[in-house]
Amino acid sequence: MRKALAHIAAVAITTTSVLSGVQAADPPLELKWAQLMPPAPPKPPRSFLANRPVDLGKLGGLDDGTPAPPPIPEGRWMSIKRRQKSADQPPRVVAELNGKRVKIGGYVVPLDFESTTVKEFLLVPFVGACIHVPPPPVNQIVYVKTKTGLEIKSMFDPVTVTGTIKTEVTFTGLADAGYSIDAEVVEHLKAK
């Protein structure tokens, strides 16, 4: 009888611990912006000949005979892909983050909104990125979609985004984003 009760108790404890593990979600990985940048590739060694004087006449430049690019027609600037730093190379992202549940803080650059509710936005590391200054590097921009929307109180208030991150480049009209998140939760940070 004691063995049977001990066995039933052991099964009950095991079942409870398994069920509680299923119900409780693992906490998200809290990211800092520096963690979105992979380590820089090693530079090839330089020889002592690398410091030779350069003939500036052979470099080309503004007076190399190539025509200037045509002006952008009025009202069409959002549909033209802007050149970000390193736009001619594949973006350097941290592939190991793909599919992870993460939490990251930053600032909102709205893309799709109704009144004061934003459903799609770029999350950037500093205020005003992509609006009044050149956009940050591709691996420092996160494209965020949220079903519930975020009520914007001020463009200068920081937020945190929790959700599953993907390492796929998304072109938004303002800038390329090296990462995207389907947000579970978007919260305004409380002032301390």
Report the distance separating Cα 7 and Cα 13, nearest Å: 10
Query: Of 39-53, 137-151, 163-177, which gets the smallest average pLDDT?
Result: 39-53
Q: What pLDDT, on the 0 to 100 scale, is given for residue 100?
A: 95
- What is the average pLDDT across 172-183? 90
- What is the average pLDDT across 131-156? 85
Report the distance separating Cα 160 and Cα 141, nearest Å: 14
Q: How confident is the model at residue 4 (pLDDT cuts 50, 70, 90)?
A: very low
Q: What is the mean pLDDT of the chain?
A: 75
**pTM exceeding 0.75:** no
> Which of 15-24, 88-97, 124-133 reaches the highest mean pLDDT?
88-97
| Domains, the chain, with CATH or none | 27-36+78-192 (2.40.50.870)
